[in-house]
A and B are shown apart, each in its own frame.
Chain A
Amino acid sequence: MSKQEWPLYEVFIRSRSGLAHRHAGSVHAADDQMALDHARDTYTRRKEGVSIWVVRSDRIVASDPAETASFFEPAEDKIYRHPTFYEIPDEVENL
Chain B
Amino acid sequence: MKKITVALAGNPNSGKTTIFNLLTGARQHVGNYPGVTVEKKEGLCKYAGHEITFVDLPGTYSLTAYTIEEIVTRNFIIEEQPDVVVDVVDASNIERNLYLATQLIEMDVPLILAFNMSDVAEHKGLLFDIEQLSRLLEAPIVPMIGNKGKGKKELLEAIVEIAQKGRGRRIHNIRYGEEIEHELAKIEAMITDKEHHLAEKYGSRWSAIKLLEQDDDITKKVRSRELIDAVKAGTEHLKSIFDDGPEVVMADRRYGFISGACQETIRTTVELRHSYSDMIDAVVTNRMLGLPIFLILMYLVFLLTFKIGKYPMGWLEMFFEWAGRAIAGLWPVGSESWLSSLLVDGIIGGVGGVIVFLPNILLLFLAIAMLEDSGYMARAAFIMDCIMHKIGLHGKSFIPMLIGFGCSVPAIMATRILENRRSRLTTIMVIPLMSCGARLTIYALVIPAFFPENWHGPMMWLIYFIGIVLAIILIKVLRLTFFKGDTVPFVMELPPYRMPTLKSVSLHMWHRGWMYLKKAGTIILAISILLWLASSYPKPHAESLADLSDEQAQQVRLEHSVIGTLGQAIEPAIKPLGFDWKIGTALIGATAAKEVFVSQLAIVYAVGSADEGTATLRQRLRANYTPLTGFCIMLFCLIYAPCVATIAMTKQETNSWGWAMFQFFGLTALAYIITLLVYQIGMAIAG
Are the chains A and B members of one assembly? no
Residues of B within 8 A of A (CB): none
